[in-house]
Structure 1
């Protein structure tokens, strides 16, 4: 995909990307129901997350348009118990104003590929059900199927929120 800043490409996140990742995520914490965080993590928190994810051999990616980071995605352990060790949960955020340009699809496609290469067998998506179908539609287009609903499990911005679980197989396992 080509946009006004050049070809969009996916790359491993690096320390220099943390400020932009912090900014993108902070927007969603403050202005949306896409995340249940109510206080945005600091740059140091994101730096630690980046290091922890990469130390586990899992992907932490950014979408770049020219030199600008326009989105990020990472795969992290779904749950801490050992039996879940081959299952990851995806996280994807695209910067405000950048939606609909393909960054989410590119990020998720590459996240799936690299997670499978890392030996993961399943990917889970936990998506808030707040009336915006974009994230669920993206996941369905890339092979995820709905696995269940958790009703009124989050309360943010004076509203109860459901989450919908999606999953897909990454490798035979």
Structure 2
């Protein structure tokens, strides 16, 4: 196994990123999306993040994309411009190798360099792995919404973790 590298995402990464993300849509309540995304959808999302001046990173190991992390605007109103929502996804079986933490630390570093004040991570609960990842890189729980989403025939809570940069 080669050492992982982290780099900015490009449109060419969209098929791999969609391939990582779609099982979360189809098989879990981690994502609140319900319809798988196409590579074209994902390419547009990568472009939107890049055009907003925010980072989208991919982690490569063994010659392929194994995970990704990105930040989006928290809300559209101007006073929120110093806050972002963050996301990290790894392909199935890639957890437990420290790659999520590596992606998150790289993302946080870029956000700090851009002068972002607050990073917010939303987590569909329960999700012990995601909670542990967020807390390992310094996030603290800030909010808990009960039964805010409905997917796979059940109500789902969402917690928000925040990190002041």
- Asked if these proteins are the same fold (TM beyond 0.5), I'd say yes
Aligned to 2:144: 149
Alpha carbons 2:15, 2:38 under 8 Å: kept: no
- In 2: Cα distance, 1:47 partner to 1:137 partner: 29
Report the counterpart of residue 28 of structure 1 in structure 2.
24
Q: Deviations over 1:41-78 (max 9, x none)?
A: 22111111111111121110001103110001100001
Show the counterpart of 1:15: 11
1:22-171 superposed matches below 5 A: 22-130=18-126, 132-170=127-165
The secondary structure found in structure 2 opposite 1:7 is coil
Separation in structure 1 between the aligned mates of residue 37 and residue 146 of structure 2, nearest angstrom: 26
Aligned residues: 165
Quote the Cα distance in structure 1 between the aligned partners of 2:66 and 2:98: 10
Q: CA RMSD in A?
A: 0.9
Q: CA deviation at 1:118?
A: 1.5
Q: Unpaired segments of 5 or more residues in structure 1? A: none
SS at match of 1:168: strand
